[in-house]
Amino acid sequence: MSNNYDVIIIGAGPSGIFCAYELKEKRPDLKVLMIEKGRSIEKRQCPKRKTKVCVGCQPCSITTGFAGAGAFSDGKLSLSPDVGGNLPEILGYEEALSLIKESDDIYLKFGADTNVYGVDKEKEIREIRRKAINANLKLIECPIRHLGTEEGYKIYARLQKHLLDLGVEILFNTMVADILVEDNAVTGVVTEKGDTYYAKEIISAVGREGADWFSHICKEKEIETKVGTVDIGVRVEVRDEVMDFLNTNLYEAKLVYHTPTFDDKVRTFCTNPSGEVATEYYDDGLAVVNGHAYKSKDMKTNNTNFALLVSKNFTKPFKTPIEYGKQIAQLSNMLCDGKILVQTFGDFKRGRRTTEERLARNNLIPTLKDAVPGDLSLVFPHRIMVDIEEMLEALDKVTPGIASDETLLYGVEVKFYSNKVVVSKDFETSIKGLRAIGDGASVTRGLQQASANGISVARSILKSLEA
């Protein structure tokens, strides 16, 4: 294998996949190399799915490998530029909408469900919007295509085969140690195995899991960045009956609230009807909570889960939002011996620890079986505790029952996309030829915009190569 390439893509998540797809579809002669620290998709097997016990795989198959964290996510494609990232700010609304449509067509080509939620329920959505307005919540309307955890895995498997058939070279189980720069222009990468690969076009598409790594690269190479937003909160679990009207008509109700006490922004994120709460593990052993849902009826549960995320923006001298989120998650891990903490909303409001006994007599049965009953007030700052309580009370006016004493809160959920890299409209950083895309650069916050971002940067590269 030659060490010289036209384009090197660091990371094989959705943004990297769609970038490689577009490059090879338009220019089959290009030499494209993808470097992914995780496994190929057929080798991404999580033992916990069967044993219910984490065995500490390195790297974690849930967060790394071909398709990134998206391979095992609920697989929701948000078909509006209003949701999932900053593409409209960088490219303009119409261009972002067009790219989302193109990336959606590719998902359909590889087997995505043709059904779209939130487009044919005008009367019902008007009712949801009315209730949201009465509760001072903003409903963000966004059509959703649901892949499903197991079906999304199959779609990405087909995409992996397609890229390999097109001649994309993919190095799995390979970590990039450094990005080479000369005269403020990128020249190549060095892996932890000591191998060097050269290209004049290098794309950082590392996803949330790689955001911390890329933030250190940016600091070392003096790449221009901004302090991004910290998104931190809990995963909420209720019975399906509580969320039935929202789930049936929107699948994922995206609601935003500015809390009365602190005027903090809190939003719902990643709703999983009849789904399961899950744990994600990062390379340093950090455990954070997430959720997913399957398409198959025999894999569905009786519960719906969704995230409540508090968005915090800091001012100077603060400059390490990723570390801030990690510190809070680590505190929760310390209290629970590396597992996820769970507390009933009744105990949360009363300021008392949930016990095994009270959890056992709860009507709501946790879907995350190894979650440890505890007290989130020992983990979160007071301000975030107040934000979460006020958001749940507001949501209860839209869908009564969410603020029930038996509602379960799992902590901590953190989104590691806070390293906001300054990029041009071609997604080029302050170093020539080095482009940053996807969630790891805080450009996107979801599968669909990340995929669209990959197409966009590929076209920018093709124009650059033609010049």
Q: DSSP for 117-176? A: BSSS-HHHHHHHHHHHHHTTEEEE---EEE--HHHHHHHHHHHHHHHHHHT-EEE-S--E
User: How far apart, in Å, do the first and last CA atoms of the chain sit?
Assistant: 27
Tokens of 42: 């057929």
> Side chain identity at 74, as an amino acid letter?
D
User: What crossing angle do the helices spanning 14-26 and 93-109 adopt, rounded to 10°?
Assistant: 80
Whether omega before 14 lies within 30 degrees of 0, making that bond cis, reads no
**DSSP one-letter code for 196:** E
Indicate the helix (H) or strand (E) that contains 106: helix 93-109
Confidence at residue 130, expressed as pLDDT on a 0 to 100 scale? 97
The span from the CA of 151 to the CA of 139, in Å, is: 28
Distance of CA 400 to CAs 126, 241, 244, 363, 397, Å? 17, 10, 11, 16, 6
**Is pLDDT above 60 for 443?**
yes
Fold of 7-112+147-226+420-466: FAD/NAD(P)-binding domain (3.50.50)
**Is pLDDT above 70 for 379?**
yes
Residues 6+ apart with CB under 8 A from 345: 392, 403, 404, 405, 406, 407, 408, 409
Confidence at residue 284, expressed as pLDDT on a 0 to 100 scale? 77
Selection from 39, 60, 40 nearest residue 283 by Cα: 60
Average pLDDT of the segment spanning 377-383: 97
Confidence at residue 304, expressed as pLDDT on a 0 to 100 scale? 97
Confidence at residue 364, expressed as pLDDT on a 0 to 100 scale? 95
Residues 6+ apart with CB under 8 A from 461: 7, 23, 201, 203, 435
Computed over every residue of the chain, the mean pLDDT equals: 92
What pLDDT, in 10s, does the model give residues 192-246? 999 999 999 999 999 988 888 998 999 999 999 888 778 999 999 999 999 999 9
Pairing of strands 196-198, 201-204: unpaired
462 phi and psi angles, rounded to 5 deg = -60, -40
Torsion of CA 398, 402, 403, 407, to 10 degrees: -170
Q: How confident is the model at residue 51 (pLDDT cuts 50, 70, 90)?
A: low
* CATH 3.50.50.60 domain extents, the chain: 7-112+147-226+420-466
Which residues share a beta bridge with 235?
307, 410
Distance of CA 88 to CAs 22, 250, 446, Å? 20, 23, 14
Sign for the pseudo-dihedral over CA of 90, 200, 421, 417: positive
Q: Are 287 and 279 in contact (CB under 8 A)?
A: yes
Confidence at residue 296, expressed as pLDDT on a 0 to 100 scale? 84
Confidence at residue 52, expressed as pLDDT on a 0 to 100 scale? 60
Confidence at residue 229, expressed as pLDDT on a 0 to 100 scale? 79
Confidence at residue 70, expressed as pLDDT on a 0 to 100 scale? 74
Average pLDDT of the segment spanning 167-194: 97
| CA angle in degrees (0–180, nearest 5) for 87-93-94 | 120
CB crowding 156-190: b at 16 or more within 10 Å, else e: bbebbebbeeeebbbbbebbbeebbbeeeebbbbe
What pLDDT, in 10s, does the model give residues 357-373? 999 999 899 999 999 99
Average pLDDT of the segment spanning 175-182: 97
H helical segments located in 287-381: 321-335, 345-350, 356-360
Selection from 157, 202, 164 nearest residue 67 by Cα: 157
Confidence at residue 48, expressed as pLDDT on a 0 to 100 scale? 63
Average pLDDT of the segment spanning 152-170: 96
Would you call 227 helix, strand, or coil by DSSP? strand
